[in-house]
Each structure stands twice: as structure tokens, then as C-alpha cells.
Amino acid sequence: MEHRSRTARITVTRDTNERKTLPAILILLLLALSPATLRAAEVAPLPELGDPAGGLISPDQEYRMGRAWLRQLRAQVPVLDDPLVQEYVEHLVYRLASHSDLKAPDLAIVVINSPDINAFAVPGGVVGMNAGLITNAHQEDEVAAVIAHEIAHISQRHFVRRYADSQRLNRAMLAAMLASIAVAIAGDGDAGMAGLMASQAAVIQQQLAYSRHHEREADRVGMQTLVNAGMDPQAMPRFFERLQRNRQFAGRPLEFLSTHPITEERIADSRARASALPAGNATESAVFHLVRARLMAGYFSDPQQAMAHFRSQYRDGNSLQQQAAGYGLAISAIRAKDYPLAGLTIDRLRQRFPDQLWYRIVDAELAQHQQRYDEAIIQLTELSRLMPGNYAISVMLANNKIRAGQHAEASELLTPLLRQRPQDVALWRLAADAWGHNNQLALAHMARGEVLFLSGRDDRGKEQLGYALNHSKENFPLHSRIKARVREMDAESKERF
């Protein structure tokens, strides 16, 4: 299994009838049911975990199903392309997964670039969240509580238990319904719901939505995962209660509540369970507050407003929240191209908190935005020695090497990363640039093909690999490798579950 790295303005306004994201995604992933099958599903009993019916969908099928769905998701929704946020989320998810009931978890983790609060899990170990889950949380443990709940859906195989009597997926129907869901995720609720109705997804959702039993079980199992990871189980009822309070001021129902219904009974049950469990470690995560500020800076439409927001909270304070505000001010100043303010703020943070490596990383980001690529490379190279194998620093270093014209060096950095993370679209995109500028055309076309295929554009991806085959005729090992990958892509495109 791949070893993963360890490391606003926010107003949630999505109408319940427009945004049925999570239940629809989970259902559509597993089912495109005929009316006859739906009628049978109404009376069919749920299989227990030990029931042979649970074997109707094997773990390998779940894995392939999840990765196929993820390719389609990338084609339809904006995935956040920020290696620092990705590094943080992966570290948090794997920390929780290692303390869960998952056996040797091999997860695909995706962050959607949306300020709304939501999270989801898909068979085969796909775990995702909206960036808004982080920006709307007050503490890391609250984010962890939601993630632990989603991991529990995977570890308890709720999908298989709920849908054991499903018929085979019709891929064309699935693709059409996924496209409609993605439109709704992206914000065009009317168009998305129209597509869902056309493909009978509303009927599927009504008939086979998650049972209350499975939601309670995910709460219970997820809370135990929090405790096992040394985190606060009270974070789950605390987050639920705040969402309930905020709902009355949101204008429209919160997206999270439309996909994770929260009742007073559920809150009371989670509070009672949490009270019976150890309190966990109360230490706050500095990195969580920095990631939160980084994301919030990006969700202000006007960088000047972002700067005013963070400046009012910073005031040269020493608390974690004030440090994060200073960091957010620096990020916002970079976005506004106010480089003197960014540099002054970063220097101040580095002098006062020399052990916080994130302030050195943002200093390298400032150098990159000012096109001082050689300086950024020096800083990131030093950081990579301090944190060998760190995903975010490696990606940032490769990016700066490409910008500085050091294409061969960037390729050397990216090649082992791609072996570890063969489904990482951001890495393939960087590799395509590095190889293309280095006149390694076969490799460049291969990388572009991977970017397209992993983003749900199967035909265009295979077309790029065709170009790669033409450019690799004199290189037998590479030619053979590309041919094998073409066969894999063909098989994955045609696969039915």
C-alpha cells in the first residue's frame, strides 16, 4: 500500500431540493435500478455483515467501482489543487483510518473546492470533503468527527449491506446521473435536479437512502475512532449542535443537513455516547488553524476584504488563532499582489515563531509569485531535507524547478512520486509540463493522457496515449509500458459492475 505523507466569509446557502449531493452520489454509484428491482428492494431484508449476501460485491469490485466514480467526479466538480491542503487532509484521514476498523486502508482522498459544509465516502475507500467543512469548523476534532463518521460507512460496508440486491450498473445511466449530480454540486441546482429526475435518481434516492440505523452506527463507530485516535468525542455532538443553531440563520437549509439529517434525538444520542467515553487530547492543532485561514483567504471574492478581515484579527497576537490570522493576511496580500505587506508579515511571523515551518513555506510561495524561482528552490530544497518525502514541499519544489527551466531536475523529483501516487492528477499535470519542455514527447503525451483519463475524459486520454505510442517506437520498454496502460484504460472504460 502506498505510504501517504503525515503531515471568509462563508455562507452556506443551498436549497434542499437543489442539493441532494451525498445520498444521490452514494446511491447512483451503486445502482441504476429498474422499477422491478426497486419493488423487490422494498421488501428484501438487509444482509448482516456475516451474511453471504455481503459477498455479492467483493472488496475488489468496491475498489474499482470507487475509482471509476472518482474519475467521473473529477470531470464534473472543481477539485481543490493545493498541495498543502491535500497534505493536511490526507494526514488527518489516515490518522483516523489507522485507528478505525478498516484493514490496511488504501484510500483515495479528494477535497472539493466549495465553501459549503459537506463530506462523503464511497465504496472502495474514496473519502472526500468540501473545503467548507474546514472553514466552518472551530477545531480540528470537529472536522475529524465528520471524517470518522464517513470512514465508518466504509469500514462497516454499509453500501454492500444496503444494496446487496442491486442489479448490475448500467454505465451509460451512471455517467448521465453523475453528470447531473455534479451540476448540482457545482451550484446549478435547477439544472442538476432536472437531470436527476430525467434519470430516475429521485426515485432511487427515495427508495434506498441510508437507513437511520446505519447513520447511528456510523456515529457510534466514528466516535470510537475519534477516541482511539486520541481526539475528543464531544466534538461530534458539539458540531451537530452548532449546525442546528446556525440553520435558523442560514436562510436556506444547510447542505450538510440535507445529506446528513440531524435531529434532537441524534444529538442527544451522540452527546450521551461521548459522555461515556474518554475526553481525549485537548491540545489544539496549529496546522488546522493555518489550513483554515489559507482556505478562508481563497473564498473572499475581493483580496482587499480578506486582508481587512485578517488584519483585524491578527494584531500581532501570539495565540494560535492570531498567528493563523497573520498567515491569512500574508496569503491574502500575495493574492492582492501586495508583496511588501506579504513580505513584512511573513518576516514578522518567522522572527517570532521560528519553529513553524509553514511560515518558511509561505516565504517560498511569495518568492514564487515574484518569479524569484531560484530563491524559492533554495528554500524548498532546505525544507525537503528537514521533512523528507513531504508531498506538499515536493510538489512545490517541482513546480518551481519547471518555472526555472530545470525540467530534467523536476522530472527526477516527480518520477518516484508518481510511482507512489499513480492516480494523482496534480503530479501527472506537472510531469506533462516537465517532460514536454524537456522534449520527452512520448512521456509528455503519456502524462497528458493520464490527466485526462483520471479526470473522466476516457477517449481523450486514450488518444494522448496513442500519440505517446507513436513517439516511443524506438524505446521498446517505454512502448511496451504504454501499450499495457492502453489496455488497462480500455478495460476500465468498458467495465460493468
Residues facing 184 on adjacent strands: none
- The DSSP call for residue 167 is -
Q: Which residue would you say has higher pLDDT here, 246 or 13? A: 246
Per-residue pLDDT reduced to its tens digit, 100-126:
988 878 899 999 999 988 888 888 889
- State the average pLDDT for the chain: 81
Region 287-370: CATH code: 1.25.40.10
Strand-by-strand arrangement of the 119-122 sheet? 108-112, 126-130, 119-122
- Write the CB contacts of 347 (distance below 8 Å, at least 6 apart in sequence): none
pLDDT of residue 211: 60
- 232, three cell numbers: 475528543
Q: Residue 204 corresponds to which amino acid?
A: I
How far apart, in whole angstroms, are the C-alpha atoms of residue 15 and residue 251?
9
pLDDT at 255 over 80: no
Helix segments in 283-424, DSSP class H:
286-298, 303-314, 320-335, 339-352, 357-369, 373-386, 391-403, 407-420
pLDDT of residue 423: 95
pLDDT of residue 314: 95
Which residue ranges make up each domain of the chain? 21-275, 287-370
Per-residue pLDDT reduced to its tens digit, 130-185:
999 999 999 999 999 999 999 998 888 766 665 554 444 444 444 454 455 455 54
Query: β-strand 119-122 against 126-130: which pairing, if any?
Result: antiparallel
Q: Residue 269 corresponds to which amino acid?
A: D
pLDDT at 448 over 80: yes
C-beta of residue 232 within 8 angstroms of C-beta of residue 158: no
Mean pLDDT is lowest, of 1-15, 381-395, 417-431, for: 1-15
pLDDT of residue 18: 38
**With bands split at pLDDT 50, 70 and 90, how would you rate the model's confidence at 473?**
very high
- The DSSP call for residue 79 is B
Query: Roughly how many angstroms between the first and final C-alpha of the chain, as a whole number?
Result: 24
Q: What is the mean pLDDT of residues 383-406?
A: 96
Share above pLDDT 90 across residues of the chain, in percent, rounded to a whole number:
58
Q: Which residue would you say has higher pLDDT here, 249 or 361? A: 361
Q: What is the mean pLDDT of residues 478-489?
A: 97
Q: What is the mean pLDDT of residues 390-407?
A: 98
pLDDT at 303 over 70: yes
pLDDT of residue 368: 98
C-beta of residue 230 within 8 angstroms of C-beta of residue 174: no
pLDDT at 85 over 50: yes
Query: Pick from 319, 328, 318, 410: which is nearest to 362 by CA?
Result: 328
